[in-house]
């Protein structure tokens, strides 16, 4: 059962918790969740039906929690819509998904769809049969960095498999209190944070904005954050030290800079767990609660997941910790394709069913993975060499006068691509070029360093490298 912690019989048998969910100023007990979400399920099932989809404005509120949970109980796929999405993108998501109604909060522009409100204090104890595992749970839209966003169809089986594998890797139990302040329209905040908590049965706290003070006051045992969040926490030593009583700090959605990693170790006493995933495959790699944690490395495959590295010709790349290849993977967490886009689905799946992640990586002899970055922007081919931008960025971030760094390959008539670093900090460009040349092979040094005030980032803290030129 996908929502194992929301079994009405378990609640009736004394398994209720007064503060199962704290979000948006509201606190829901486990019986509130069961009764409130089942009431939502009844309204959705009667007005829409399991064969259709509903759109949910994914704000960090109790309304969103009950809307999402109600859909899962009723077996109605939902489409999480970012609250800050632009009008054109919202219209595309609604039209492409075929959503039949808005469930819960209503945006300023409803695009003519009917509205099914969520009544926070309504309760029902109707029993619903568990939908089949292969049934779609949601359609989550990608960020659209290569065109209009595509709808990723994610099954109930994939979510359950992913949460169970992460629970094993992170020793995640009902005794945990999971804290984060991340959006509920991405895998990190929604699937791992909310749905993971519903399945595992732990307490869940959403802080609203993920500020250092909010994290410090939450008294959690398990914290999720993106690198920007952890960087700000390291910059607030008192808040960081307050997390020393936690059990596990988890970072993802982008590479965690080594200085931030080291700062967390020094201030909290915890080496953060790093993990890797994608909307199309959920989380597939992670370091473990009981295993090695190495700055800049995202661990080993989760249970049931297999990975491989291939070169431009499709030949497998050795796992020597140095050779760069295209990362492909397979396993039970894979998506069921892009909605209405068989052509796009075929482009990212190999003939034998492996998912082409679009990322480049290295794997060492022990199976540890390091993500170099996106093949389109982070694999630089310069002077006949294949160079990973992430390796250079890691070195630059180790310089005391650098606070942020992004490395790209720009067209060059002689080299094919020349390495250009965009840096936030007070260092002199030539000093940084010499610094990298002393730490790495000389052909990996930037040919140019540009000092900038800021790097362009998306809502999850990822640098938008295509805007750097």
Looking at residue 206, its pLDDT comes to 98
Q: Give the angle subtended at the CA of 458 by the CAs of 456 and 461, to the nearest 5°.
A: 90
Domains of the chain are: 4-197 (3.40.50.12780), 383-467 (3.30.300.30)
- HEC string of the chain equals CCCHHHCHHHHHHHHCCCCCEEECCEEECHHHHHHHHHHHHHHHHHHCCCCCCEEEECCCCHHHHHHHHHHHHHCCCEEEECCCCCHHHHHHHHHHHCCCCEECCCCCCCCCCCEECCCCCCCCCCCCCCCCCCCEEEEEECCCCCCCCCEEEEEHHHHHHHHHHHHHHHCCCCCCEEEECCCCCCHHHHHHHHHHHHHHCCEEEECCCCCHHHHHHCCCCEEEECHHHHHHHHCCHHHHHHHHHCCEEEECCCCCCHHHHHHHHHHHCCCCEEEEEECCCEEEEECCCCCCCCCCCCEEECCCCEEEEECCCCCECCCCCCCCEEEEEECCCCCCCECCCHHHHHHHECCCCCEEEEEEEEECCCCCEEEEEEHHHHEEEECCEEEEHHHHHHHHHCCCCEEEEEEEEEEECCCEEEEEEEEEECCCHHHHHHHHHHHCCHHHCCCEEEECCCCCECCCCCECHHHCC
- Which residues on neighbouring strands pair with residue 154, listed in sequence order? 138
Of residues 375, 377, 380, 376, the one with CA closest to residue 360: 375
- In angstroms, the first-to-last Cα distance of the chain is 49
CB 150 within 8 A of CB 141: yes
Full-model pTM: 0.86
Paired tokens of 171: 């020793």
Looking at residue 377, its pLDDT comes to 73
Would you call 380 exposed, middle or buried from its count of C-beta atoms within 10 A (0-12, 13-18, 19+)? Answer: buried
Looking at residue 111, its pLDDT comes to 79
Looking at residue 15, its pLDDT comes to 65
Cα→Cα distances 402→24, 258, 259, 422, 446, Å? 36, 12, 10, 10, 15
Cα→Cα distances 2→25, 71, 75, 201, 343, Å? 27, 12, 11, 11, 30
Looking at residue 89, its pLDDT comes to 86
Looking at residue 222, its pLDDT comes to 98
Distance between CA 308 and CA 312 in Å, rounded? 13
- Residue 74 CB neighbours (<10 A): 25
Distance between CA 73 and CA 38 in Å, rounded? 7
**pLDDT tens sequence for the chain (469 residues):** 677 777 665 555 556 789 999 999 999 999 999 999 999 999 999 888 766 899 999 999 999 999 999 999 999 999 999 988 888 888 999 999 999 999 999 888 877 899 999 999 999 999 889 899 999 999 999 865 556 889 999 999 999 999 999 999 999 999 999 999 999 999 999 999 999 999 999 999 999 999 999 999 999 999 999 988 999 999 999 999 999 999 999 999 878 888 899 999 999 999 999 999 999 999 999 999 999 999 989 999 999 999 999 998 889 999 999 888 999 999 999 999 999 999 999 999 999 999 999 999 999 999 999 998 888 777 788 877 778 888 788 889 889 899 889 999 998 877 888 999 999 999 899 999 999 988 887 888 999 999 999 999 876 567 888 888 7
Residues with Cβ < 8 Å from 86, sequence gap 6 or more? none
Largest CA-CA distance found in the chain, in angstroms, rounded? 73
Looking at residue 460, its pLDDT comes to 58
């Amino acid at each position: 059962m996908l929502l194992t912690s929301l079994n009405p019989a378990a609640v009736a048998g004394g398994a209720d918790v007064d503060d199962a969910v704290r979000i948006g100023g509201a606190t829901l007990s486990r019986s509130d969740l069961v009764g409130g979400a089942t009431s939502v399920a009844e309204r959705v099932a009667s007005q829409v039906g399991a064969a259709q989809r509903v759109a949910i404005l994914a704000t960090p509120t109790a309304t969103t929690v009950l809307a999402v949970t109600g859909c899962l109980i009723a077996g109605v796929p939902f489409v999480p819509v970012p609250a800050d999405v632009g009008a054109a993108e919202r219209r595309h998501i609604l039209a492409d998904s075929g959503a039949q109604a808005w469930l819960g909060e209503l945006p300023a522009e409803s695009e003519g769809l009917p509205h099914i409100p969520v009544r926070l204090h309504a309760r029902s104890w109707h029993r619903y049969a568990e939908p089949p595992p292969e049934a779609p749970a949601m359609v989550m839209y990608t960020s659209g960095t290569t065109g209009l966003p595509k709808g990723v169809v994610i099954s109930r089986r994939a979510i359950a498999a992913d949460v169970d594998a992460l629970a094993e890797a992170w020793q995640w139990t009902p005794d945990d209190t999971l804290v984060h302040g991340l959006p509920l329209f991405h895998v990190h905040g929604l699937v791992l944070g909310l749905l993971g908590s519903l399945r595992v049965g732990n307490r869940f706290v959403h802080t609203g904005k993920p500020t250092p003070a909010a994290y410090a006051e939450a008294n959690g045992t398990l914290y999720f954050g993106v690198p920007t969040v952890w960087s700000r926490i390291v910059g607030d030593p008192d808040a960081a030290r307050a997390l020393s009583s936690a059990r596990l700090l988890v970072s993802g959605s982008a590479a965690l800079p080594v200085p931030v990693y080291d700062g967390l170790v020094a201030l909290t006493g915890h080496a953060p767990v790093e993990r890797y995933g994608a909307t199309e495959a959920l989380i597939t790699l992670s370091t473990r609660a009981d295993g090695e944690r190495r700055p800049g490395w995202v661990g080993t495959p989760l249970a049931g997941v297999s990975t491989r590295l291939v070169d431009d010709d499709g030949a497998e790349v050795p796992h020597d910790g140095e050779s760069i290849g295209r990362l492909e993977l397979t396993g039970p967490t894979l998506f069921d394709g892009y909605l209405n886009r068989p052509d796009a689905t075929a482009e990212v799946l190999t003939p034998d069913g492996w998912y082409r992640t679009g990322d480049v990586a290295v794997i060492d002899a022990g199976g540890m993975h390091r993500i170099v970055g996106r093949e389109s922007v982070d694999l630089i081919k310069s002077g006949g060499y294949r160079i990973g931008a992430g390796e250079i960025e890691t070195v630059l971030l180790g310089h005391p006068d650098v606070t942020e760094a992004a490395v790209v390959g720009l067209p060059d008539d002689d080299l094919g691509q020349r390495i250009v670093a965009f840096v936030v900090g007070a260092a002199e460009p030539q000093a940084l070029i010499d610094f990298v040349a002393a730490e790495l092979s000389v052909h990996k040094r930037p040919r140019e360093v540009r000092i900038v005030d800021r790097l362009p980032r998306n809502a999850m803290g990822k640098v938008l490298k295509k805007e750097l030129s």
